[in-house]
Copies of this chain bind each other. A is one copy, B any other.
Amino acid sequence: MNYSQLPKEELQQIYDLQKAEYDSFVAQGYSVDIARGKPCNEQLDIAMPMLTGEGLENMPKNYRNYGMLDGIPEMKKLFAQMLGVDASEVIVGGSSSLNLMYDTIQRALQFGILGAKPWNSQPIKFLCPVPGYDRHFAICEHFGIEMISIPMTDEGPNMDLVEQLVANDDAIKAIWCVPKYSNPTGITYSDAVVERLASMKTKAEDFRIFWDNAYVVHDLSDTPDNLANIMEVCARVGNPDRVYQFASTSKVTLAGSGVGCIATSKNNVKDILSHLTIQTISYNKVWQYIHYLFLKDMDNVKAIMAKQREVIKPKFDALVNAFQDAFGSDSDIAKWTNPNGGYFITLDVLDGCAKKVCELCKGAGLTLTAAGAPFPYGIDVNDRTLRIAPTFTSDSDLVVATQILVCCVKLACVQKLLAEKNS
């Protein structure tokens, strides 16, 4: 439905209807949270057999002791297969890939990369495709790194803009990417975008792509997206050290209690380990081995992810179907994504209404990711984009959440259109 072309009276009727519905939600005192990309209990249950201790009698005894800074060979190999790299290009870390990203930036700030000047010695900038992952942007803001927003297209960041910027400003040291099932838009970078990212000329020779491959095996479809192997392309075009790739099993096994990794060129691995060997003696190799016993190999990882999909695909479908029912195709107040994988649905509402929708939802007991959160400094200049995380909530709560959300979108947008017509 095209709301902006409705006559004022009809808009007012819709408004009144929605307002009545909204008031009834408020009266019912709901409390539902679809703010964060957290797995639900049914997903986490899938990994519980990991914790029985079965098979641990085969663990090499030295895994229980200090050493093996870059992780156990079994998990290096598994991550290598998952990411299409060589095991020698993998450092297996602790339970958090975000921690590995933060530390990688902190190292670059303090020490520089591969002998280049420390980033701390100069004002630096990161390119931030938007909408993007709020925790990436929070790291930049925390370190005082200037963020430059790059609009996302259906194929990845706007590469014309990216190429132009990195070619001319050596303060631009990096770009954040969630290349597969992007957080939050759900798109996967096209081969052409990957090729251009790998081969573009950068004025900064210590330019790095932070390739957060958070959803590498997190398909929601029988025809999953295919992401080109950026490290392969980088090696081919002569920029072998350009990419820091990150992944973790947080959404394969246990959230916050998974195993994270960095995959990067051997030069970068050596550079990182030269600092890491001072920072720690080794990561938790027993936990890594427990993961190896449970995950086994890529076929088994895919089987686990199929179980995950069984739990969460209906949640995505429910949300998307409800939006379709409520707004129809080509609505001018709501457009949403229907991703092939990942953890999020992006809902774009009428410009200038996202904050209002959040506020209304909050009033009715529904917590959304704050409007603006997927943008640097929390500022969505269009006040348009909402990130929806359907996985954590129970199916029944998700029904309520969707009803509240739909109601609040209509209410906020119609109110705006009414105000415009009145002015």
Contacts and interface: CB of A to CB of B under 8 A. Distances in A.
Interface string A256-269: 11000000000000
Nearest to A392: B65
**Interface footprint category on A:** 35 or more
Interface stretch (A74-82, A155-163, A273-281, A334-342): A273-281
Interface string A95-111: 11011001100100110
A65 B256 contact: yes
Most chain B CB neighbours (cut-off 10 Å) among A120, A143, A278: A278
A284 B94 contact: yes
Given A56-B51, A284-B256, A138 B102 contact: no
A99 B52 contact: no
Contacts of A110: 106, 109-110, 120, 143
Contacts of A65: 38-39, 44, 254-256, 392
A118 to B, nearest CB: 9
B142 A280 contact: no
Contacts of A61: 41, 44
B52 A254 contact: no
B98 A279 contact: yes
Most chain B CB neighbours (cut-off 10 Å) among A38, A48, A64, A139: A64
A38 B66 contact: yes
A67 interface: yes
A287 B289 CA distance: 13
A110 B283 CA distance: 24
A242 interface: no
A124 to B, nearest CB: 14
A99 B284 CA distance: 12
A286 interface: yes
Interface in A127-158: 135, 138-139, 142-143
Nearest to A254: B64
A28 to B, nearest CB: 25
A115 interface: no
A53 interface: yes
Which 5 A-B pairs rank lowest in CB-CB distance, beginning with the nearest?
A257-B286, A99-B280, A95-B284, A256-B282, A52-B53
Given A66-B250, A142-B278, A257-B284, 16 more contacts: A36-B66, A44-B65, A48-B56, A51-B56, A64-B254, A96-B282, A98-B280, A99-B279, A102-B280, A110-B110, A110-B120, A135-B278, A254-B286, A256-B285, A257-B285, A287-B287
